[in-house]
Structure 1
Amino acid sequence: MIFIGPGPGSPTSKNDTGLIYDLLKEVSSDMTKYRKIPIFGVCLGFQAICHHLDSASNKNHNEIKYLAKPVHGQVASLKLINEEHPIFKDIILDDTELLGTRYHSIYYSARMDKETYDSHAEFKVDPIAVTNDDILMAASISNTSIMGVQYHLESCCSNHGLNVLCNYIEKHVVPYYLSKERHDYIGNICEYLKGEEECFELLSNKNEESDSGSGKKEFNVDVHSHYVHEKDLIGLHLNLISLFKKMFGGCLMLGSLVKQKHRGEFSIFGIPNDSSSYYYYDLTEESIYKDDWQNESTAALISNDCDRKSYYQFIEKEFQTWQNNINVSSENEAIFNSLPFTGGYLGILNYEMGDCVPKLAKYSNSIGAIFAKINQALVWDHFEDKFYFIDITQQKNNNNNNNNNNKNDWNKEMIETVLKEIKNNNEDQTSSKETLLKTKFPVSNIEKSDFETYSEQFSRCQEYLHKGDSYELCLTTQCKVTLSEKIDPFVLFSKLSNMNPAPFSSYMSFPKIDINLLSSSPERFIKWDQNLDNVELRPIKGTVSKKKDPKMTLEKATSILKTPKEFGENLMIVDLIRNDLYKLLQEVELKELMSVEEYETVYQLVSVIKGSKPKKGHHSGLTGLDILKSSSPPGSMTGAPKIKSVELLQEEIESLYVNERGIYSGVTGFYSLNKKGDWSVNIRCLFSNDNINWRLGAGGAITVLSDLDGEYEEMKIKLESALQIFE
């Protein structure tokens, strides 16, 4: 079976259709010879089949036309013209409608033009289904095994898609493969199917790994737990960061500053010590560096002349070497497996670290990724009211008893210090917050994207959307805040946390290389468990402001967010993510479709997609980092389809104002030694390379239903979530 489609692009363009163009040209040259080969087209593939193989159409007539209003991410009720067609027969067993999700601005019109169409031709388009306004949605080529659908039958909002494919396979594919003459049918068509097969290459080679079950382990993992009762969730987070900065010279924090099930359950404090280090990737130099956290030495070059994939491979190899050499005692094993983080890597990935993002010749900030090696951490379970102290120490041949005693003393000291901090925090909950909210920072300039530039970018988006080059483009802008003097990033983060607490907040400060990320993100990108039995993504699309309408309620926000525009925005990203996961996982399930969630300053439309079970064969060694790399950048920050949308945004649209996105719309999270991971999208955030110039990004999905003024206003609302700390 040859499956072609879906798009984007035009069926008349060889640049858009590639080998499909050559394939169908060959088939059309001898339809009698190739008519039994099962070819099924979707969307662009369907249009291409009709355009190249419909011998009844008048080729002087322009049968490929543009819709008056493109339809992207909209669900249509379909009418069956031929209810007895074997592919669609008996698929609707009750009174439900046949529904199809449409993603197209181009359609095939010749079959509906009675004046120029020869209905007696041997190989003609036979309509099967149309929309209420008679746009062709499904058809076959008469006297062949070739057919297709204009709508996306794989979309989560299309129904009976599996039945259609199963019927097609039963009617055309199985008989073809059982036929003795099938090799005669295929003819020269094999030449067009040759080429480089798309194959996902794993980051690690399991054959090269050391045996994790043999030999003496080099590292011990120790876990201590203690109950806590805090009265000020945000205040204690900030006080603990401050405490660890004083004691150890730094702290990395991934925090749930809003206590919520499924998206605000844990906070993680990575505590650097004299053995802590981090690996970063320089995009311009294409080099990997290692830097120590506490000493004054310069960064060491690990590898040069290596691409982005090489960095991921390096991190995966380092992780597996470390993970294979840890020893977890039987008394700690249950806790080790249950916690989200048990030591490992805390990291930042720029937007430009995504596979499909075109490489630039030069970057304003070259550091594209940082993974910090954390062997001491505090994990806070907000629902169990427990602190877990994680300590990974290297075993020594001599003085083991002394080493263990020192380790236990360290944990005892830490517990006592943290408990004292909790007590102090609970006794003074309000004064520090009031002081923070009144703090004014020395702002010398705020540079925002002006309306004229945004309008030009919006117009370009609409041009590409109407041409069919994309269905949705996530247009982003950046604001630059310049301070007159350096301010400790922690002070900025403290105010941000109080003004916009979020379930996926991040404090990531690397003073030696001048990288600072302060995030109050509401959006999880991806989370995975130990065996990849539960891989979850939670894309956000659709925003309603609370501040703009103080009387806004959840009910009112829900009615606004369930309009065709907002529905289409979210649906397109959901379908994109499902496609990303299906490349690597056997099972993908839509758990929630467009639920409305409430945050500090906005209501947002959220969906939940879960995947499980790595595919067999060459995916048997799949890891969480493989899925993270393959899925980046987040679909909610690109648009759909991802590859083409990313190219258009970077090369034709956003380049009007900024060179690259950088940390904004990348991801931040952890890769734990128990093989778990959790990453959030870098939105509602600030980032800086010098503690003087701070950048803030904001944007939104542009579709053909978007309104310029409305999108510009939504962008400003999102920007204000973080920008408000400077006002």
Structure 2
Amino acid sequence: MSVVSKKTQFLDSISFVGGFYTDSAYLQMAPNSNHGRILFIDAYDSFSENIAALFCQILPVEVTMIHIDTQIEELLDKPADCTQNALALYLQNFDAVVLGPGPGNPEATSDVGLFSEIWRLPSLDVVPVLGICLGFQSLCLAYGASIRRMLEPCHGHAKGIKHCDEDIFTNVGEVIATNYNSLEVELGDKHSLAEDSGPTSSSPSVESGSSSPSTLCTEFYPSQPEFEPSLTCPKLRPLAWDGFGTSMSVKHVELPFWGLQFHPESCKSNAACQSIIKNWWNTSMHWSTRTRRATNLSRSKLLSGHVWSRPLTPIHIIAEPCDIAENHRLTSTLQEELQALTASSAATVEFHTMMLPKSAGQVLELCRSLSQNDQAILESTRKGRFSIYAVPGPSEFRMEYNLETSTCTLNLTDQDKMQWKMKLLHVLDEIQGLVVRRRVKAGHDSVPFFGGFIGYFSYEVGLERLGVKQELRSASEVLPDINLLWVERSIVIDHVSNEAHIQSIRKDDSTWIAEMVDKLNRLGCPESPIALRSARLQALLTAAKIRLPDEEIYKREIQACQDYLHSGDSYELCLTTGAQISLPTHPENSWLLYHNLRHHNPVPFSAFLRLGRTTILSSSPEQFLSWDRSSGSINMIPMKGTVAKSPSMNLALAKEILASPKESAENLMIADLIRHDLYSTVGWNASVEVIKLCEVVEHETVYQLVSHIRAMPSIPPTLSADERQQEIMRYGHKALRQTLPPGSMTGAPKKRSCEILRRLEQRRRGVYSGVLGYLDVGGGGAFSVCIRTAVSNADEDRDGRQTWRVGAGGAITVLSDVDAEWEEMKTKLESVLRAFRPDG
């Protein structure tokens, strides 16, 4: 049985602080007496939403989530003369507490926060508690256990769990569960119940192609041994362990406290884990019936306002107005200007579909010839279906945002600029608001893009959302963090049907469409200067100077990453570096280089963007996020694990290599992280499923391991078609906010990992590791991850030479080999650099 989480009902109406929902709004949910209430205390982990969703979907409960550093007093508005413990008072509103996983060490107060206060509650204020991973370790530490580092942390590996078939493990059968832990609990001399106790760092795991669970552990649930309390932990009873005696679950012998070292919510944990959760809930409610409800205030009295001085209902917080900077129109707001600039937009798409008369490359050349300034091209050069070419129009404008100065700029076609000082959240609201207000219909059903914004969001936009501290940028890092071109006219090529769709969202634009159809029918052969082997290109590349990253520094950073992984601060870190290329400055450079790049590295998500002073050449193989205008489905397809193609490396061998525990764990960690991000978007009772896990795909230069995660928002069937479209767009834009930066470029847990990477890399990534794509006024959207991408900033041009920057990196795990990681990074880097090297 499941209930609709109250969280999703007011998610858009509450305020943000540092990118997170403020507790004062997030926590106040209307109680439902027909269901239990669980308080989830989140330690800023990247799997917490998955756990909350699991509880909501398999138990008759509502879940309220707070953070470990939440100030409980601020939630109560309690009377001034109230002497009762604030946490105890707050917990009277809940039937049980879950202490979640998270980075760090339970011995560090800042890593566990409220966890420690739970164990100090007076006996009369105790509620049932389940600690998971870090929460489990905190429980054990509080009652005498010691915490130590594992020699080989277990990150993203599913293992067989032995148990006594008692208490919350009664009748659950074989347990296979994913672990994410660098630290382990030592209960004392009597803690190991495995017959063949050995090094805890070598616990067996269940991986692709490995032995079955029953062969890894001789007994999954042996008959219950006689319990002998540990001298150091007399209050804790072991319930489960792995094949080498490492503690996997405990129960307090007197109080209703349980702990699980493993992650029951992971997509590789089996159904037995759900049975454990159900058993815990039933056992907890039985305890409450016998004990707590007989000694505490009745639930009806608690929820009537006796404890709370204000009703537990959603709060609607009005965002403060934008602070408008001085400019030539002081009275105008950004929203008013956007409305005026798009006044020519129509409610329907006007389009003409024709068979493609020439090659897509010639259409590309035509669109390029029509553009004088900004240019946006999203191409599929291999295995993808559509290519999108923006055609400049009379109402074209570009929207920029700079995080450092909190400045939003509108760049108009006549070089006029308008600026506003405003917060990132407000800018994102304005972008979403414009696309929703200008939504259109009646375009060709199969075309993914009718019109709207095309551009990018930097990696740092995601850091801002997470609340990661940003440093000031150097002179070489002055690119806008958001850079979007408004597109009203476009040509979309369908490579499957070989059709060209000429379309416009401007009012009464049939004349332009007819002119463009005529131009396409009269296309000639491409001009010789654009030929891939042209003399100009080779002369340019011969003059190129390439500066590669420093091998010693990168390897030292890899080792530093592994130190953080062993300490428990992260499970996986996507460390990056970059190369720099210097070329003679010439107006044709970027176009020649883009053609060379798409020739050497054809991929599903090629892109050429010239947005003001910024030029981007992308040959990304990775889709970040897309949502469908019809079904509303939200799809993410992360890539983790790369093998370079060579004469000796075929698909079969690549599959064998990418099936290794290291590569599988990389992919699983990001798949679980993405599930978390998507649950935070669509709500805990919506559908988030793993369509594919760890599938090998072939690209021009590499084989890569990918997964596919899909979310389906719960949209009421009673909505009108127009209301349904607005909901789909709202969820899509929310997904973009909630999932930045891409998990495949950060690691897990995302926030702590980003903080670590910031310290190690000592630079802004900018466009690299960000995302580029489109926000469609038809209702959809799609973005690729900015990898295999070269970026140029015209402000860096010096002495007749132009600078290009190319980033590359890889996921560092505890199983990473330093030399192998260096070689993998170079493989990724070379897939772009070969476009900057002369032939031969």
TM superposition score normalised by structure 2: 0.73
- How far 1:390 moved relative to its partner? 1.2
Letter in 2 for 1:91: V
- Which one of 74, 78, 84 corresponds to residue 166 of structure 2? 84
The answer on whether the counterparts of 1:578 and 1:609 sit within 8 Å (CA) in structure 2 is yes
How far apart, in 2, do the equivalents of 1:114 and 1:533 lie? Answer: 50
How far apart, in 2, do the equivalents of 1:550 and 1:683 lie? Answer: 25
Residue 180, structure 1, aligned to residue 308, structure 2 = no
Letter in 2 for 1:11: P
- Residue 158 of structure 1 is matched in structure 2 by 269
How far apart, in 2, do the equivalents of 1:310 and 1:362 lie? Answer: 22
- Residue 400 of structure 1 is matched in structure 2 by none
- Which one of 784, 787, 791 corresponds to residue 680 of structure 1? 784
Residue 300, structure 1, aligned to residue 418, structure 2 = yes
- Residue 654 of structure 1 is matched in structure 2 by 761
- Which one of 405, 413, 431 corresponds to residue 515 of structure 2? 413
Q: SS at 1:671's partner residue?
A: strand
The answer on whether the counterparts of 1:100 and 1:151 sit within 8 Å (CA) in structure 2 is yes
Residue 573, structure 1, aligned to residue 670, structure 2 = yes
- Residue 124 of structure 2 is matched in structure 1 by 33
- How far 1:146 moved relative to its partner? 1.5
Q: 1:114 to 1:104 in 2, by over 3 A?
A: closer
Q: SS at 1:181's partner residue?
A: helix
Give deviations 1:118-160, integer Å, cap 9, x for gaps. Answer: 4599972221211111111122112332112101111111112
Please show how residues 265-276 of structure 1 align to structure 2 within 5 Å.
265-276=385-396
- How far 1:251 moved relative to its partner? 3.2
How far apart, in 2, do the equivalents of 1:43 and 1:228 lie? Answer: 57
- Which one of 135, 139, 147 corresponds to residue 45 of structure 1? 135
Percentage of pairs with the same residue: 32
- How far 1:367 moved relative to its partner? 0.8
Q: 1:200 to 1:499 in 2, by over 3 A?
A: farther
- Which one of 459, 468, 488 corresponds to residue 375 of structure 1? 488
- Residue 597 of structure 1 is matched in structure 2 by 697
- How far 1:491 moved relative to its partner? 1.2
- How far 1:672 moved relative to its partner? 0.5
Unaligned runs of 5+ in 2: 1-95, 193-227, 322-334, 337-342, 717-725
How far apart, in 2, do the equivalents of 1:520 and 1:620 lie? Answer: 32
- Residue 617 of structure 2 is matched in structure 1 by 518
Q: 1:90 to 1:474 in 2, by over 3 A?
A: same
- Which one of 528, 534, 549 corresponds to residue 449 of structure 1? 549
Please show how residues 616-627 of structure 1 align to structure 2 within 5 Å.
622-627=730-735
The answer on whether the counterparts of 1:532 and 1:623 sit within 8 Å (CA) in structure 2 is no
- Residue 183 of structure 2 is matched in structure 1 by 106
Residue 477, structure 1, aligned to residue 560, structure 2 = no
Q: How many residues align?
A: 655
Residue 540, structure 1, aligned to residue 631, structure 2 = no
Q: 1:2 to 1:271 in 2, by over 3 A?
A: same
Unaligned runs of 5+ in 1: 395-403
- How far 1:299 moved relative to its partner? 2.0
- Which one of 469, 478, 492 corresponds to residue 593 of structure 2? 492
- Residue 613 of structure 1 is matched in structure 2 by 713
Q: SS at 1:675's partner residue?
A: coil
How far apart, in 2, do the equivalents of 1:198 and 1:455 lie? Answer: 50
Give deviations 1:62-117, integer Å, cap 9, x for gaps. Answer: 7111111111111111111x1133x222223xxxx4211111111111155469x8
TM superposition score normalised by structure 1: 0.83
Please show how residues 391-410 of structure 1 align to structure 2 within 5 Å.
391-394=504-507, 404=508, 407-410=509-512
- How far 1:709 moved relative to its partner? 0.4
- How far 1:429 moved relative to its partner? 11
- How far 1:282 moved relative to its partner? 1.5
Q: 1:173 to 1:225 in 2, by over 3 A?
A: farther
How far apart, in 2, do the equivalents of 1:199 and 1:65 lie? Answer: 44
Q: 1:479 to 1:121 in 2, by over 3 A?
A: closer
- Residue 9 of structure 2 is matched in structure 1 by none
Letter in 1 for 2:700: E
- How far 1:525 moved relative to its partner? 0.2
- Residue 57 of structure 2 is matched in structure 1 by none
- Residue 280 of structure 2 is matched in structure 1 by 168
The answer on whether the counterparts of 1:67 and 1:105 sit within 8 Å (CA) in structure 2 is yes
The answer on whether the counterparts of 2:188 and 2:231 sit within 8 Å (CA) in structure 1 is no
How far apart, in 1, do the equivalents of 2:598 and 2:628 lie? Answer: 28
How far apart, in 2, do the equivalents of 1:708 and 1:201 lie? Answer: 50
Letter in 1 for 2:453: Y
- How far 1:247 moved relative to its partner? 2.1
Give deviations 1:34-79, integer Å, cap 9, x for gaps. Answer: 45x1211110001111111x3xx4xxxx711111111111111111
- Residue 399 of structure 1 is matched in structure 2 by none
How far apart, in 1, do the equivalents of 2:642 and 2:634 lie? Answer: 25
How far apart, in 1, do the equivalents of 2:357 and 2:172 lie? Answer: 57
How far apart, in 2, do the equivalents of 1:551 and 1:203 lie? Answer: 59
Please show how residues 88-487 of structure 1 align to structure 2 within 5 Å.
88-92=169-173, 97-113=174-190, 118-119=229-230, 124-160=235-271, 161-173=273-285, 176=288, 180-181=293-294, 183=296, 219-228=347-356, 236-237=360-361, 239-249=362-372, 250-259=374-383, 264-293=384-413, 295=414, 297-301=415-419, 303-304=420-421, 306-323=422-439, 326=440, 328=441, 333=442, 335-354=443-462, 355-356=465-466, 357-363=468-474, 364-394=477-507, 404=508, 407-421=509-523, 424=525, 432-435=531-534, 440-441=540-541, 443-486=543-586, 487=588
Q: 1:316 to 1:72 in 2, by over 3 A?
A: same
- How far 1:385 moved relative to its partner? 1.8
Q: SS at 2:525's partner residue?
A: helix
Give deviations 1:411-440, integer Å, cap 9, x for gaps. Answer: 12211212333x636xx9999344388564
Q: 1:166 to 1:491 in 2, by over 3 A?
A: same
How far apart, in 2, do the equivalents of 1:637 and 1:216 lie? Answer: 39
- How far 1:322 moved relative to its partner? 2.1
Give deviations 1:630-684, integer Å, cap 9, x for gaps. Answer: 100100000011000001101x2111xxx20010010001110111001000000
Q: CA RMSD in A?
A: 3.5
- How far 1:444 moved relative to its partner? 4.8
- How far 1:717 moved relative to its partner? 0.3
Letter in 1 for 2:268: C
- Residue 6 of structure 1 is matched in structure 2 by 101
- Which one of 822, 825, 831 corresponds to residue 712 of structure 1? 822
How far apart, in 2, do the equivalents of 1:592 and 1:631 lie? Answer: 19
Letter in 2 for 1:22: E
Give deviations 1:685-711, integer Å, cap 9, x for gaps. Answer: 100112611000000000110011000
How far apart, in 1, do the equivalents of 2:811 and 2:230 lie? Answer: 43
Q: SS at 2:608's partner residue?
A: strand
How far apart, in 2, do the equivalents of 1:567 and 1:477 lie? Answer: 24
Give deviations 1:2-51, integer Å, cap 9, x for gaps. Answer: 11120111111101111212222x23xx4x4345x121111000111111
The answer on whether the counterparts of 1:281 and 1:367 sit within 8 Å (CA) in structure 2 is yes
The answer on whether the counterparts of 1:443 and 1:726 sit within 8 Å (CA) in structure 2 is no
Letter in 2 for 1:376: R
Letter in 1 for 2:608: Y
- Which one of 102, 105, 115 corresponds to residue 20 of structure 1? 115
The answer on whether the counterparts of 1:203 and 1:316 sit within 8 Å (CA) in structure 2 is no
The answer on whether the counterparts of 2:370 and 2:392 sit within 8 Å (CA) in structure 1 is no
How far apart, in 1, do the equivalents of 2:631 and 2:259 lie? Answer: 35
Q: SS at 2:713's partner residue?
A: strand
Letter in 2 for 1:647: E
Letter in 1 for 2:601: N
Q: 1:429 to 1:157 in 2, by over 3 A?
A: farther
Runs of 4+ displaced beyond 6 Å: 120-123, 196-205, 428-431
How far apart, in 2, do the equivalents of 1:226 and 1:177 lie? Answer: 71
Q: 1:342 to 1:177 in 2, by over 3 A?
A: farther
